[in-house]
Structure 1
Amino acid sequence: MLSSQLIMEQIRDHPIVATISIAVGAVLASEVMWKAVLYFRDKREKARRVHEVVCFNELGEICAAQHLRNCSPGSPEPVVFRCHNKHCTLRNVGKIVEQIDRAEHSIDLAIYTFTSLTLAEAFKRALQRGVNIRIISDGEMVYSFGSQITTLARFGVPVRVPITTYMMHNKYCIIDGVERVKEIRMLKKRKWMRPCYSIAIIGSVNWTRQGFGGNWEACVITHDEKVTLMLQAEFNRMWKAFEKDENKIIQKE
């Protein structure tokens, strides 16, 4: 109470000094608040950063029986539960699922073969969140047994394939690519969209049971800006090149 009275007296007796003091205090307070915002933003950004190599090999399935025993009743998929297998296929696929579940605006997938139910479910969750998904695949393998590409097409995902005897053999995915997010913002006529972090997933592995649980494969998951920009540019180029072939095959299924 006494300090408040002294402050009021100082304001009355020295208005200029008081004004300067208040201004300095406001600046200091705003600086503290801004540093707090930067701290939490940087903390969130670091949590999103990823740069790792995921390897699939002959040791990935040695823990499969354990996961089946620990499967929750009614659950379509087993879960990783105290798994000590560092090569665990389930855990490694989960790393890809984690990135798909973080997608905020877009997912662009160029994949030769896609039959994984686990990843297809992650794509469906992304669709429910309003994420824009596009898929480029091979003209023949898009109809491989168990293909989830045709299933996703029925959910409204646009799919394009090249009509050629050559294979569309890519296996990569760009999540929230910078150029794609800008394009979506312009199409939706929005002045601003929530900031996001671009992720690229690329490697030799097809998104299939055999690819994840039988072959020797490698997959890189990275936030590297140069990698994500280059892959997004190539996807955009292919998307335009295959434009005339869209919907000729997929939507008639």
Structure 2
Amino acid sequence: MLNTHLIMEQIRYHPIVATISIAVGTVLASEVIWKVVQYFRSKREKANRVHEVVVFNELGEICAAQHLWNTRPGSQEPEAAHCRNTHCTLRNVGKIAEQIDRAVYSIDLAIYTFTSFSLADALKRALQRDVSIRIISDGEMVFSSGSQITMLARLGVPVRVPITTYMMHNKFCIIDGVERVEEIRQLRKRKWMRPCYSIAVSGSVNWTRQGLGGNWENCIITADEKLTAMFQAEFNRMWKAFEKTEASLIQPK
């Protein structure tokens, strides 16, 4: 323990030395505190970062009847958090919705066909949080029966399609892509943005009842920085390439 009397004597007779010592001590203490803050922030971010393969198969619906039975009165969605079925379709769809619900600034979705009410509701919640959403879809499937894309377009979500006989067959989503977040920062003229991290959702599955609950499909959910950056770059390239076709879609009312 330092002697308080000696410290006071040093300050009295050696003010310059004492001032330098106090300044150095303050800087060192601040550095230590900052390192501790960074450590716990990094630990929290690693806990939130996801690298997961989600599969949809013939075993996903064997628990569906039980979920409907256990649905809470007044609730539109059955509860799947404690389902013992490791292949539970409801919980797997919830994993995608969970990432959408974590979006802070942007969601860019390239999807061939989209009829899932659960995932559409997650996107509507994102809109209510002022998350910027853009959708690229197939020119024919965007108007298919039950399409949730037309509903989202009416809510103000910009949608673009290619005018071609080829299919826009992609199924991927980028949440808070670095390049897109920076673009939003500049558009909103902000000096800094709240901390967020990028997520990519991609695989064979369309966001439909058949794809999510009937087919054998796969979906990768990852926070890998290189993968999310490459998906974001391809979405941005397509978004620019399809710019002249935007007027062919339904317009927000």
Q: Please confirm whether the aligned pair reaches a TM-score higher than 0.5, indicating the same fold.
A: yes
Q: CA deviation at 1:184?
A: 1.3
Residue number in structure 1 paired with 2:204: 204
- State the superposition RMSD in angstroms: 1.8
Give distance in 2, aligned partners of 1:18 and 1:182: 45
Q: CA deviation at 1:202?
A: 0.4
Q: CA deviation at 1:245?
A: 1.2
The yes-or-no answer on 1:110 pairing with 2:110 is yes
On the 8 A contact 2:107/2:176 being kept in 1, the answer is yes
Name the SS of the counterpart of 1:146 in structure 2.
Answer: coil
Deviates more, 1:209-218 or 1:26-35: 26-35
Alignment of 1:78-227 (within 5 A): 78-227=78-227
Q: CA deviation at 1:136?
A: 0.5
Name the SS of the counterpart of 1:236 in structure 2.
Answer: helix
Give distance in 2, aligned partners of 1:101 and 1:26: 41
Name the SS of the counterpart of 2:133 in structure 1.
Answer: strand
Structure 2: which amino acid aligns with 1:35? Answer: K
The yes-or-no answer on 1:230 pairing with 2:234 is no
Deviates more, 1:215-224 or 1:44-53: 44-53
On the 8 A contact 2:60/2:88 being kept in 1, the answer is yes
On the 8 A contact 1:51/1:222 being kept in 2, the answer is yes
Relative to 1, partners in 2 of residues 1:45 and 1:81: Cα closer, same or farther, differing over 3 Å? closer
Residue number in structure 2 paired with 1:240: 240
Residue number in structure 2 paired with 1:19: 19
Relative to 1, partners in 2 of residues 1:252 and 1:8: Cα closer, same or farther, differing over 3 Å? closer
Please list every run of 5 or more consecutive structure 1 residues that lacks an aligned counterpart in the other structure.
none
1:120-168 CA-partner distances (Å, limit 9, x unpaired)? 1110111111110000001111111111000000110000111111111
Structure 1: which amino acid aligns with 2:212? Answer: F
Residue number in structure 2 paired with 1:50: 50
Please list every run of 5 or more consecutive structure 2 residues that lacks an aligned counterpart in the other structure.
none
On the 8 A contact 1:70/1:81 being kept in 2, the answer is no
TM-score by length of 1: 0.93
TM-score by length of 2: 0.93
Q: CA deviation at 1:244?
A: 1.2
1:79-131 CA-partner distances (Å, limit 9, x unpaired)? 11421111011111111111101111110000011011110111011111111
Structure 2: which amino acid aligns with 1:188? Answer: R
Name the SS of the counterpart of 1:109 in structure 2.
Answer: strand
Residue number in structure 1 paired with 2:40: 40
Name the SS of the counterpart of 1:219 in structure 2.
Answer: strand
Structure 2: which amino acid aligns with 1:224? Answer: D
